[in-house]
Structure 1
Amino acid sequence: MHLHNIVHSLLAQSARFRQVIRRPVQTKMPLILPRADYLIILFVLASGCAAKSIPAFAGPYVTIVERVLSCDDEAASGKLKLYLRASHFNRYNPSERQNVSGNVTVFEPFDDAVWMDIRIDVRANNEWKKNAYVLKFPNQGCSRFRAFLPSFFKVMYKGVSLVGACSVPVGVYVFDEPVDWSFPNVPVFPYGHYLATMNGGRGNQKIIKMCSQYELRIIPKSS
């Protein structure tokens, strides 16, 4: 393919991707999955002859948690307190897990009566693009969180069952262990710099009773 045609093709594909990534994604599905049109664009870019000469922008990945941020105290209503620190990511040994230490105080049971709202911002052009992905779960918050991040759930809520009914009792949970940040139900994802905000509440009430933010990077997984 002529160089001019390759460049023209890449620009067209990039424009279509930007249109998709700006579109908020809302889902009631138990798994967090990309939309069908999004998958089609990923496939075109990954398999096209022009893409063979440039790094793929999405695919198997490694998640790096750079920092955990505190939500606005007023927004969280003081119902859940999370203090967490993640160790530095070892780029020379990507398979080495980050260690997380800290504690979480649960003032009300975290179970499947809890709804969850996850908003993911994308860093681009030195600013955050708000709500690139918006995921709403009207119930089963505990089960969804456990399925989405099983390793983190196991470390943070030690002793809580990983199968069957999901319920985290009231209490203080202290942790200091390595965590596998992989998301088993999301095998591929666009590489980039993200800020994820997770809110939760009970029943039909819109009062936020748990809130946490995670700044992270998604990088290609070594073969």
Structure 2
Amino acid sequence: MISLAIVLVCCVLQTTGIKPPTYFPNLPMGEYKLKFKAVFPCESTERHKLQYNTYLSKKSVNEFELKGNLTYFVPFDDSISININMASKGSIGGWKDNAHVYTTPNACSKMKFLFGDSWKVYVKGFNFSDTECPMKPGTYVATGIDVDKMTNTNFPKTFFYGEYKMAFTFTSSKGEKLGCTVLVLDILRPWEN
């Protein structure tokens, strides 16, 4: 009797053109889309050997470009280590450091791997002479890289939703801090704005 009622309801909904409501689960993690909010140096880059002087520029209401310059006084290669420290935005404001931490040697190769297909967009946008590691010393200028073209990466395909501040810190094999940059972004459910 119940199954007959379900079949009748489905038939009525299908013939009248009324669609049942779409279900959007409110889970704490899952597939996501990125919304970039800011890029800036961690601190003054004056003494850094790897200087990241970049920022986001608003192209239109919903479009942003990455602009600025990278100045390398030493090669960006696999002798450098990288630490990515993600702080999550608290429910009452403020940042909670060390929400996710990733530290690894071989910074150039790991960045290339993590960026995935976006690595070519990044390298081309900053006018590097080569897409392979190591990146030679010099000044590289980006006049506008569309950040929407930098979302095809090898970062995990599912993640915890929320607002994050990612600090990328680069250190030499001797422990010297070479450079640091911050990326602020929202990790949103696929249907959120």
Band the TM-score falls in, shorter-chain normalisation: 0.7 to 0.9
> In the alignment, what sits opposite 2:188?
219
- Check whether the contact 2:127–2:140 (CA below 8 A) recurs between aligned residues: yes
Residue matched to 1:169? 136
Aligned position for 1:145: 111
The structure with the largest strand share of the pair is: 2
Q: Answer yes or no: is the 8 Å Cα contact 1:63–1:182 preserved in 2.
A: no
Q: How far does residue 113 in structure 1 lie from its aligned partner after superposition?
A: 0.8
- What does residue 133 of structure 1 align with? 100
User: 2-side partners of 1:89 and 1:119: how far apart?
Assistant: 28
Q: Does structure 2 retain, via aligned residues, the 8 Å contact 1:83–1:103?
A: yes
In 2, are the aligned partners of 1:192 and 1:219 still within 8 Å (CA)?
yes
Q: Which runs of 5 or more structure 1 residues have no equivalent in the other structure?
A: 1-51
Q: Which residue of 2 aligns with 1:31?
A: none
Q: Is residue 77–residue 208 contact of structure 1 (8 Å, CA) maintained in 2?
A: no
1:197 aligns with 2:167: yes
CA distance in 2, matches of 1:149, 1:80: 19
User: 2:49: which partner in 1?
Assistant: 79
Contact 2:40/2:55, CA 8 A, preserved across alignment: no
Letter in 2 for 1:167: P
Shift of 1:134: 1.3
RMSD: 2.6
Structure 2: 5+ residue stretches without partners: 1-22
Distance 1:53 1:62 in 2: 15
> 1 CA distance for matches of 2:183 and 2:97?
14
CA distance in 2, matches of 1:117, 1:185: 15
Alignment of 1:100-115 (within 5 A): 100-115=66-81
Query: How many percent of aligned residue pairs carry the same amino acid?
Result: 22
Superposed CA deviations along residues 145-199 of structure 1, whole A, max 9, x for unmatched, are: 111124254333633225xxx2100011111221323432411111101111111
- Between the aligned partners of 1:55 and 1:110, the Cα distance in structure 2 is 41
Structure 1 residues 82 and 91, CA gap change in structure 2 (3 angstroms): same
Listed as ranges, the matches of 1:179-190 within 5 Å are 179=147, 180-190=150-160
Aligned partners of 2:80, 2:129: CA distance in 1, in Å? 20
Task: Decide which structure has the larger Cα Rg and report it.
Answer: 2
Q: Aligned pair in 2 of structure 1 residues 174, 73: CA closer, same or farther (>3 Å)? A: same
* Within-5 A mapping of 1:50-61: 54-61=25-32
Equivalences, count: 162
> In the alignment, residue 105 of structure 1 is paired with which amino acid?
T
CA 1:144/1:157 → structure 2, altered by over 3 Å: closer, same or farther?
A: farther
